[in-house]
């Protein structure tokens, strides 16, 4: 059974196609497309070496569904939200 977080992810972003829905609600694997704590849909695009034992993931906001091409987030809105969050972190 999917958790409340998974249900929210699928409900908000997995409605454009079955493929995105399945990727975001998969229980057998750690999905590379996830909803961040800031309610932005991210895709893991690479690994980076950090000082810990395991590499860290590099995430990038997803603006269009990688499976069907439907616009799922507005690039300008996401960039503005991320810029505002960076300014809050600097303060």
Model's pTM, two decimal places? Answer: 0.74
Question: From CA 33, how far away is CA 45, in angstroms rounded?
Answer: 9
End-to-end CA distance of the chain: 41
Binning the chain into helix, strand and coil, the percentages to the nearest 5 are: 35, 20, 40
pLDDT at site 11: 44
pLDDT recorded at residue 20 = 93
pLDDT in tens, 34-79: 999 888 999 999 988 887 777 888 999 999 999 999 999 999 999 9
3-state secondary structure of 45: strand
Domain limits, the chain: 4-90
Q: How much is the pLDDT for 1?
A: 31
Q: How many CA within 13 A on the CB side of residue 8?
A: 10
């Amino acid at each position: 059974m999917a958790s409340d977080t998974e249900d929210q992810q699928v409900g908000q972003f997995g409605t454009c196609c079955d493929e995105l829905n399945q990727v975001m609600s998969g229980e057998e694997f750690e999905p590379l497309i996830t909803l961040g704590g800031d309610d932005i849909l991210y895709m893991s695009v690479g690994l980076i070496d950090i000082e810990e034992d395991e590499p860290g993931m590099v995430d990038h906001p997803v603006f269009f569904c990688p499976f069907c091409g439907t616009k799922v987030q507005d690039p300008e809105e996401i960039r503005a939200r991320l810029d505002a969050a960076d300014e809050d972190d600097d303060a």
